């Protein structure tokens, strides 16, 4: 692995930084209104549209589909700078990395014309409707059923743990279309308009009092046949071969590094007159060890980006980077609570709170980070089988 940035990559990073410093003030969250969802959404949409005007919103898409054809390393640099500047990503998630690629690769020309321009202009938010109450890590066990009625499919079932589910306009959906075939072979892939009659969605409030997930109920929903992607009963293969443009884990690592720097600063200067690292060598050792682990996580992310840039296909390396980054984030929030002590438990309403109550909120919210996009156990299985050549247990 080459640790040196090329002159082109350095200039590229500087271009992104200059743009973000101009268009994204460091206090944009306060300007947009922390508690004003409509004001925040308006700001995030406007910011995404500025990215779209430069082609950066779909920067990693192939040029023939309106993208810039950026290299994997350029995309990772872009994602790192976006994370460093705490840039909003509402219109850059599922639509760009999941829905767009599957439409480009497997969609019809009509599906491409209908959806890709709107995604590129930040006009729609997409969600992923895969997980069910009894189908998470074993996704092929899903039971949501789409009965073929000729011109349409009649959809019944339930989806859960859907990120951005409450604010999405469209969803990519996996549903069973043949109950007699083996579970991996009777699944189809759909583009679902979430405004269709018969769809009910409910918010899921997590233990950090945040609505990040939603659950969906489908009651005889008529899904037009032209919303089917690829062949009927071949949806599983579409789901597993969907192009993933950036799998380095840098979007997890960078916010963790920022949190560490903020808490370390408080540990040095003091919290309400209390200096937690004074006369506490054990805590200083923990902070030093955490700094090392964060840099290790960053290097693991760079390794994945470097492999992709060299034309290699990361396999277990991506699992190593993600596993290390997600479990490290949980260890970090635990350490931050230890550093801040009782002040870390206070919410933003208290005048004595540290970092506006952010740490206690993250501590609760990060419990789920080792579940989504493949649990820690799934990642370890991948590393064991693909990386170490161990037999399937």
**Count of all residues that appear for the chain in the document:** 393
* CATH number for the domain that contains residue 378: 1.20.140.10
By DSSP bridging, strand 170-176 and strand 187-193 are antiparallel
pLDDT tens digit string along 246-258? Answer: 566 787 898 899 8
Long-range contacts of 209-214, Cβ-Cβ distance < 8 Å, separation of 24 or more: 209/361, 210/361, 210/365, 211/166, 212/163, 212/164, 212/365, 213/160, 213/161, 213/162, 213/163, 213/165, 214/127, 214/162, 214/164, 214/165, 214/166
pLDDT tens digit string along 75-133? Answer: 888 888 988 888 887 777 788 888 998 999 899 999 999 999 999 888 899 999 999 99
**Residue 248 pLDDT:** 67
Question: Which residues are marked as active site?
Answer: 246
Question: Which 8-state DSSP code applies to residue 6?
Answer: P
**Claim to verify: residue 152 and residue 233 sit in the same structural domain:** yes
At residue 243, does pLDDT exceed 50?
A: no
**Claim to verify: residue 262 and residue 313 sit in the same structural domain:** yes
- Give me the percent of the chain exceeding a pLDDT of 90: 50
Pairwise CA distance, residues 247 & 318, whole Å:
6
* CATH number for the domain that contains residue 44: 1.10.540.10
Among residues 92, 108, 141, the one where a domain terminates is 92
Residue 47 belongs to some domain of the structure: yes
Is the separation of the CB atoms in 27 and 95 below 8 Å? no
Range of the domain at 263: 250-387
**Claim to verify: residue 382 and residue 273 sit in the same structural domain:** yes
Between these two residues, 90 and 242, which has the higher pLDDT value? Answer: 90
Whole-number average pLDDT of the chain: 88
**Claim to verify: residue 320 and residue 266 sit in the same structural domain:** yes
- Residues paired with residue 156 on neighbouring β-strands, in sequence order: 145
Is the separation of the CB atoms in 169 and 125 below 8 Å? yes
**Claim to verify: residue 292 and residue 357 sit in the same structural domain:** yes
**Claim to verify: residue 263 and residue 342 sit in the same structural domain:** yes
Q: How far apart are the first and last CA of the chain?
A: 32
Q: What is the pLDDT averaged over residues 130-137? A: 90
Pairwise CA distance, residues 226 & 279, whole Å:
68
Number of domains the chain contains: 3
């Amino acid at each position: 692995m080459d640790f040196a940035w090329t002159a082109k990559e350095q200039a590229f990073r500087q271009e992104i930084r200059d743009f973000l410093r101009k268009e994204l003030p460091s206090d944009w969250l306060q300007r947009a209104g922390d508690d004003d969802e409509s004001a925040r959404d308006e700001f995030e949409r406007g910011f995404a549209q500025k990215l779209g005007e430069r082609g950066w919103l779909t920067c990693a898409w192939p040029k023939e589909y309106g993208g810039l054809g950026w290299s994997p390393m350029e995309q990772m640099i872009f994602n790192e700078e976006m994370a460093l500047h705490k840039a909003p990503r509402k219109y850059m998630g599922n639509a760009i990395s999941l829905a767009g690629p599957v439409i480009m690769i497997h969609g019809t020309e009509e599906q491409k014309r209908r959806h890709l321009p709107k995604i590129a202009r930040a006009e729609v938010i997409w969600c992923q409707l895969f997980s069910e109450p009894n189908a998470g890590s074993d996704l092929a066990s899903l039971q949501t059923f789409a009965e073929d009625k000729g011109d349409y499919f009649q959809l019944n079932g339930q989806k859960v743990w859907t990120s951005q589910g409450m604010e999405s306009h469209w969803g990519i959906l996996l549903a069973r279309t043949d109950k007699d075939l083996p579970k991996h072979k009777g699944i189809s892939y759909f583009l679902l308009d979430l405004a269709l009659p018969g769809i009910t969605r409910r918010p899921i409030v997590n233990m950090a009092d945040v609505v990040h997930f939603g659950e969906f109920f489908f009651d005889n929903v008529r899904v037009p046949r032209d919303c089917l992607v690829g062949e009927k009963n071949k949806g599983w293969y579409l789901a597993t071969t969907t192009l993933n443009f950036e799998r380095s884990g840098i979007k997890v690592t960078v916010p963790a590094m920022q949190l560490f720097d903020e808490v370390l600063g408080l540990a040095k200067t003091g919290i309400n007159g209390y200096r937690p690292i004074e006369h506490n060598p054990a805590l200083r050792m923990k902070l030093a060890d955490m700094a090392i682990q964060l840099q290790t996580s960053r290097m693991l992310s760079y390794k994945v980006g470097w492999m992709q840039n060299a034309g290699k296909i990361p396999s277990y390396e991506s699992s190593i980077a993600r596993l290390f980054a997600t479990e490290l984030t949980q260890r970090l929030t635990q350490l931050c609570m230890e550093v801040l002590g009782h002040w870390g438990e206070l919410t933003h309403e208290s005048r004595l709170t540290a970092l506006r109550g952010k740490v206690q909120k993250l501590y609760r919210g990060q419990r789920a980070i080792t579940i989504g996009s493949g649990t820690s156990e799934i990642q370890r299985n991948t590393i064991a089988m693909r990386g170490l050549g161990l037999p399937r247990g």
